[in-house]
């Protein structure tokens, strides 16, 4: 629950209560009434030790000694066994005059009905669609086979099996029945029958029209002692016998060959071979459960909780299976509840201020249902994309992930054993084998990175930067915008903004983002957050990302991931530069953007003519490659030039210092790069494979030092040009490549023999065999000598 909560404001876990005096021989109604009384006692007990807010003042609970700070924020959410209890809990909230009113328990008569919205299934379906898209299949347009756990009366299973008309449901089971349709011929007919069952007030697989089931299939009660196995069922399950017990049949179905295995019911059905059944913690399904190593599904969607153990997920992923975790796949439910609570707090304030009539609140909540769903599903889209991007460099990131986990352990934030993450020795073994963390492990790391970032943003006050204030408006649906004055006074204003920003930072930058930036720039989290926001705005990354999002299913998923990776790589490289400048100047994000965005725009306009020939040719090839894959020319050009746009900050600073326009500054900057061979050294560094984490850090430091030398050398060349009459207004207003080349070569000649010696030394090192870290260091030293010579 803790990792699932990374996308929402509250922290906490699942609560439970145990009714001790249920009637042993009573009717169902008496049994239910006793359960409700126990629930009421439990919730009253929670409220007994929770601060309240009365007339905008904290009111501690009476007869209670408090050892913690003020904390009036307590919410409960419906779960297994209490799905219909929201109104009961909200009645108790009213009874106690608790400040949250009916925002205390999400759902209920005046809340969002998760089953009616189908929100949990839709969130998990975003994950399933991405898995298939990344293996080249559009499941909204192409038929695909499914085996599931659940039935059509259930929220997650029922809604899920109506999310594509291409679903070929060949088998499913719940606690009552086993449904098998070995070869559905008319997917429209089977879809309509599933819809009919879903729409019934109550249904089971026994209600399915048997005449619509393909030859050899049927619906079989789990109460049967033996089930006859037709030839089609034997082919599907691999069972050789003529009959099987219900348990044997379900066990075989879990191992059957299918494209999607969809968990939408209660139970833990897959463990790792290394685990005992007891470790799965679900004794009722011990005989049905299989090992992950026996799975033949290509993709697993976890609409339900705990369908697999974490060790099983990792084992399946290591074999090439595609899945996330339940916390990633079915987070839309808690996300919707969180939106409901925060919207109700806002509307309650609007009612008190006279901006909203009480009678208008519930109709307004209902009208916003689709908008809330869109906000929530965007989170599912972004989180699964974050895992895809993190996977691209997983084998290269092991040492950095080890440092992150070790730091979190030292801070008491993480217990690797509890979360199923590898210990230090296992991480070293992965690195030696050239393997990285799997997607389920990355999902856990992603959540912990978000939680740590959220806490840091709140504790350091970083979230109070004015540039983040707009996130509050984007969190709420459009129809809430008239209540902006109440929004700004929202009691959870800072927490909402911190949740949005921490999710944006980590979803886009990855679990290692904050650590990687801090290792390259000696700044704190406030500067990193401001740097992230500054880069997003200066280079208009949100609009760029939306363009790439729009290519879903339009181009090959691998090529689309490459586009994302280019943007993320740029963000990671540019943020340290931005963070350093913001920290040194103690600047606001808006001032930073005003200073650098015009220069970045100007550079974008001239980059294809100002860059050196080799880099221009590389850009042209990249643009042609993207265009051939179906990427629009405009987007292809922006992505292709991103790697050079990181120079924007240096160019703006140099231009401002000397009063030079961007194009003239850029031409000299890139000419210095080409003439001295800095681009050659940068490419060489990218081609050297580090043998350990220290060499990796040394190579990164080499790249940063090279950028600093490039800046210093360009500054020296500009100063020489100004002192020697090579920078008149006509040349600066219409700079050419010939002018820049002549200027740089003249400057180096005037620097004397020492400059020539340094250049020759660097060239000689590069000419003798393959590059190594030692050779790079020597070449870097030669460039340092040149920097001293010409300064």
Q: Is 14 a catalytic residue?
A: yes
- The span from the CA of 576 to the CA of 697, in Å, is 15
- The span from the CA of 763 to the CA of 652, in Å, is 30
Residues in Cβ contact with 539 at an 8 Å cutoff, skipping those fewer than 6 apart: 570, 574, 600, 642, 645, 648
SS3 content of the chain, % helix, strand, coil (to 5): 65, 5, 30
700 burial level (CB within 10 Å; 0-12, 13-18, 19+):
middle
CA distances, 132 to each of 331, 381, 503 (Å): 20, 14, 24
- The span from the CA of 224 to the CA of 43, in Å, is 42
Q: Residue 243: which of 230, 259, 260, 261 has the closest Cα? A: 230
CA distances, 43 to each of 5, 23, 557 (Å): 21, 21, 48
The angle, 0 to 180 degrees and rounded to 10, between the axes of the packed helices 589-610 and 648-658 is 100
Question: Are the beta carbons of 75 and 10 closer than 8 angstroms?
Answer: yes
Which one-letter DSSP state was computed for residue 690? P
- The span from the CA of 39 to the CA of 56, in Å, is 29
What are the two backbone dihedrals, phi and then psi, of residue 59, each rounded to the nearest 5 degrees? -120, 100
Question: Are the beta carbons of 416 and 423 closer than 8 angstroms?
Answer: yes
Give the helix/strand (H/E) hosting 465.
Answer: none
Helix spans in 424-556 (H): 424-433, 439-460, 470-475, 484-488, 493-509, 513-520, 525-538, 541-549
Residues in Cβ contact with 777 at an 8 Å cutoff, skipping those fewer than 6 apart: 698, 702
Instruction: Look at the alpha carbons of 182, 186, 189, 192 in this order and tell me if their dihedral is positive or negative.
Output: positive
- The span from the CA of 42 to the CA of 15, in Å, is 10
Q: Given the structure tokens 């042209």, which residue do they identify?
A: 620
Q: Given the structure tokens 């909230």, which residue do they identify?
A: 93
Q: Locate the DSSP E strands across 39-136.
A: 52-54, 57-59
Question: Are the beta carbons of 255 and 238 closer than 8 angstroms?
Answer: yes
Q: Which of 2, 4, 14, 775 is catalytic?
A: 14
User: Cβ atoms within 10 A of the Cβ of 522, count?
Assistant: 11
The DSSP string of 171-202 is EEE-SSEEEE-SS-S-HHHHHHHHHHHHHSSS
Residue 339 in 3-state DSSP?
helix
What are the two backbone dihedrals, phi and then psi, of residue 58, each rounded to the nearest 5 degrees? -65, 130
Residue 67 in 3-state DSSP?
coil
Which one-letter DSSP state was computed for residue 60? P
Question: Are the beta carbons of 212 and 235 closer than 8 angstroms?
Answer: no
Instruction: Look at the alpha carbons of 310, 311, 314, 319 in this order and tell me if their dihedral is positive or negative.
Output: negative
- The span from the CA of 301 to the CA of 326, in Å, is 8
Buried b (16+ CB within 10 A) or exposed e, 108-135: bebbbebbebbbbbbbbbbbbbbbbbbe
- The span from the CA of 518 to the CA of 557, in Å, is 32
CA distances, 530 to each of 282, 463, 505, 717, 759 (Å): 47, 9, 11, 32, 39
Residues with a catalytic annotation lie at: 14
């Amino acid at each position: 629950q803790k990792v699932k909560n990374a996308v929402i404001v509250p922290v906490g876990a699942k609560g439970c209560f145990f009714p001790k005096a249920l009637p042993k021989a009573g009717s169902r109604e008496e049994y239910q009434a006793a359960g409700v009384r126990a629930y009421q006692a439990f919730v009253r007990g929670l409220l007994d030790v929770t601060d309240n807010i009365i007339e905008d003042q904290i009111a501690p609970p009476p007869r209670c000694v408090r050892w913690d700070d003020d904390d009036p924020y307590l919410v409960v959410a419906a779960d297994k066994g209490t799905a219909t209890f929201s109104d009961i809990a909200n009645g108790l909230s009213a009874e106690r005059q608790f400040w949250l009113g009916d925002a205390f328990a999400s759902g209920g008569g005046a809340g969002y009905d998760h089953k009616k919205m189908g929100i949990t299934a839709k969130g998990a379906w975003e994950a399933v669609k991405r898995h298939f898209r990344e293996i080249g299949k559009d499941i909204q347009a192409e038929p695909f086979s499914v085996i599931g756990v659940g039935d059509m009366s259930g929220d997650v299973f029922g809604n899920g099996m109506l999310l594509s008309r291409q679903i070929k449901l060949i088998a499913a089971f719940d606690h009552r029945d086993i449904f098998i349709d070995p070869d559905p011929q008319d997917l429209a007919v089977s879809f309509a029958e599933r819809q009919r069952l879903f729409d019934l007030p109550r249904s089971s697989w026994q209600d399915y029209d048997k005449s619509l089931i393909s030859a050899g299939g049927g619906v079989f009660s789990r109460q049967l002692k033996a089930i006859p196995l037709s030839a089609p069922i034997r082919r599907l399950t691999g069972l050789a016998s003529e009959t099987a017990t219900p348990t044997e049949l379900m066990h075989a179905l879990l191992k059957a060959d299918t494209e999607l295995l969809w968990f939408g019911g209660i139970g833990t059905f897959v463990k790792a071979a290394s685990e005992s059944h007891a470790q799965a913690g679900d004794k009722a399904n011990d005989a049905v459960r299989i090992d992950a190593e026996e799975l033949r599904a290509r993709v697993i969607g976890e609409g339900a909780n705990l369908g697999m153990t974490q060790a099983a997920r990792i084992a399946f992923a290591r074999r090439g299976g595609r899945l996330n975790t339940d916390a990633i796949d079915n987070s839309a439910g808690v996300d919707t509840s969180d939106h409901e609570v925060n919207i109700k707090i806002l509307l309650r304030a609007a009612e008190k201020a006279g901006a909203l009539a009480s009678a208008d609140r519930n109709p307004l909540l209902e009208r916003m249902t689709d908008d809330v769903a869109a906000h929530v599903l965007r989170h599912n889209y972004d989180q699964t994309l974050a895992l895809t991007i993190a996977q691209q460099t997983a084998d290269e990131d092991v040492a950095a992930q080890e440092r992150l986990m070790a730091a979190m352990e030292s801070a008491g934030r993480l217990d690797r054993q509890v979360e199923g993450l590898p210990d230090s020795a296992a991480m070293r073994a992965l690195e030696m084998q050239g393997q990285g963390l799997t997607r389920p492990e990355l999902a856990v790391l992603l959540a912990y990175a978000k939680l740590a970032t959220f806490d840091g943003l709140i504790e350091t006050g970083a979230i109070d930067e004015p540039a983040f204030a707009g996130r509050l408006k984007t969190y709420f649906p459009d129809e809430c915008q008239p209540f902006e004055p109440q929004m700004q006074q929202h009691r959870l204003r800072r927490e909402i903004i911190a949740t949005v920003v921490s999710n944006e930072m980590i979803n886009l930058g990855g679990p290692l983002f904050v650590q990687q930036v801090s290792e390259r720039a000696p700044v704190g989290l406030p500067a990193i957050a401001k740097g992230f926001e500054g880069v997003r705005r200066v280079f208009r990354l949100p609009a760029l990302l939306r363009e790439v999002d729009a290519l879903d299913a339009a181009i090959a998923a691998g090529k689309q991931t490459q586009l994302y990776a280019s943007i993320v790589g740029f963000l990671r490289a540019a943020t340290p530069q931005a963070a350093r400048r913001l920290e040194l100047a103690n600047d606001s994000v808006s001032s930073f953007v005003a200073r650098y965005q015009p220069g970045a725009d100007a550079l974008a306009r001239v980059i294809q003519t100002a860059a050196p020939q080799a880099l221009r040719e590389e850009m042209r090839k990249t643009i042609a490659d993207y265009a051939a894959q179906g990427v629009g020319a405009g987007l292809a050009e922006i992505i292709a030039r991103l790697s050079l746009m990181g120079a924007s900050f240096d160019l703006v600073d140099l231009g401002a210092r000397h009063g030079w326009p961007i194009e003239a500054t850029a031409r000299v900057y890139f000419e210095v790069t080409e003439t001295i061979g800095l681009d050659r050294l940068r490419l060489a560094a990218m081609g050297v494979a580090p043998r350990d984490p220290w060499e990796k850090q040394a190579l990164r430091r080499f790249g940063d030092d090279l950028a600093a030398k490039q800046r210093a050398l360009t500054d020296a060349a500009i100063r020489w040009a100004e002192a020697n009459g090579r920078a008149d207004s006509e040349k600066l207003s219409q700079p050419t490549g010939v002018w820049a080349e002549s200027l740089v070569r003249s400057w180096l000649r005037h620097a004397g023999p020492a400059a020539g010696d340094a250049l020759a030394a660097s060239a000689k090192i590069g000419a003798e065999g393959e590059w190594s870290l030692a050779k790079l260091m020597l070449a870097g030293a030669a460039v340092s000598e040149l920097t001293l010579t010409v300064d």
